[in-house]
Amino acid sequence: MVSDTVPKFPFARPHGAEPPVEYARLRATNPISRVELWDGSRPWLLVKWKDIVSVATDERFSKERTRPGFPEMSPGGKEAAKNRPTFVDMDPPDHGHQRGMISDLFTYEHIETMRPKIRETVSQLLDEMLKKYDGQPIDLVEHFSLPVPSYIIYGILGVPFSDLAFLTKQAAIRSNGSATATEASNANQELLNYIGSLVDQRSAEPKDDLISHLVTTQLRPGNLTKADVVQMAFLMLVAGNATMVNMINLGVIELYLKHRDTQLADLRADPRALAPAFVDELCRYHTGSAMAMRRVAKVDVRWGVNLIKAGDGVIMANSSGNRDEDIFPSPDDFDMHRPRGAEAALGYGFGAHRCVAEWLARAEMEEVFVALVTRVPGLRVAAAAEDEIKWTPLNKDVGVVELPSVSTYDNDLAEAVAKLVNTTMFDIVKVLDTDSADDGTKQQANDLLGASVKAPG
């Protein structure tokens, strides 16, 4: 039932990456309730997994942001809702029609054909970061977490290599939370202008990239206007970029600050096999885009004892659903070995609007963490505790602004040891059992391969 006291939303995290305490209380006592947004509107808030997935698949609720009552999280969001919509803000049949224009490029099978290129990009960017490392803490956000997803999506879109630094800078200003509103708006417009010019170039001279695909298959036949193509390309450029950056950072914190002796040791022992499970758990435990699942009721809907009236906004707290005790036992424990049931975590959304680029995101994160645990075995977060990390504002999506990190070992030596990952334990021991294998080398092998591999001493 609706109480007399309506809390302000979004709720603030108590500190660091900890989820708002209100979610656990509401799951136990009042799983559907009203909250008050910045503009005084009072949408419904759903915090239980089953309610969230039910609304996400119920066509009585609309994704169209132009409908009266649709919950916007900020003045900027309300203004952005006036822009030309893309499929993420459409209902059937328009949603399926426009999403289908690009969905074939993001299937599991297609992304797997791209995995070697993703792996190469991750490796090159890691090389560049390691070259800059001089023994002093280096910001993992600036030098690795930010460029990895940016460079990969730029390659898919067909952005020339010479423009990558400029676009990465504008994307960072737009989304890192530390810029002023004017700076973020200007960066947003710079990106739109750039994409517009790129669409013009591909219209004149198509290539093998996503923008050319949209131009040749949709723009030329008249299925889309240039403005449509620009908005769709812009969506692909920015929609998941900040989320991916944050998920990489959060994964590093879980592995290298909080769970070195457990999750990190396990992942090091068999990185290729365990990376998918680690990414699954990361996207359950930390919900990078926690306020994106929103709807507005098209008709009156009876939901339990509550009546959701036509025009009422609905916010589905997927970060709360990912910690639902009825679905995920011991939900506040990070455990990549937890059994995976039929009830999927909600990090990528749910239903028809589930993230179209999910398989790309998974592949990127898997390659990132395999590369880190095998190629930089001595990586450490420079902060001694989570409270020393520079986080995004506590009432925003969880994220990391800066993540100073160090390597406790010589990187050239780490590279040499990392090459042993695909050899047998016997070969590793044989290589290390030499006069030239000093204690540092042996320690790197032990850290890299986990407690099951002990270099002879």
Positions marked catalytic: 243, 289, 355, 397
DSSP string for 393-412: PTTS---EEE-EEEESS-HH
* Residues 313 and 70 sit within 8 Å (Cβ to Cβ): yes
Helix (H) or strand (E) holding 244: helix 241-253
The C-alpha R_g of the chain, in whole angstroms, comes to 23
Q: How many CB atoms lie within 10 A of CB 423?
A: 11
- Residue 339, preceding bond cis, omega within 30 degrees? no
Angle (deg, nearest 10), helices 439-449 and 425-432: 170
DSSP string for 431-455: HHSSTT--HHHHHHHHHHH-TT---
Three-class SS of residue 248? helix
* Residues 367 and 118 sit within 8 Å (Cβ to Cβ): yes
Shortest CA distance to 253 belongs to which of 59, 391, 430?
A: 391
DSSP 177: S
Q: Which amino acid is it at 413?
A: L
Which pair of tokens denotes residue 346? 């909600």
- Cβ partners under 8 Å of residue 228, min gap 6: 84, 86, 98, 218, 219
Residue reference for tokens 């426009």 = 98
For β-strands 44-46 and 313-316, DSSP reports them as parallel
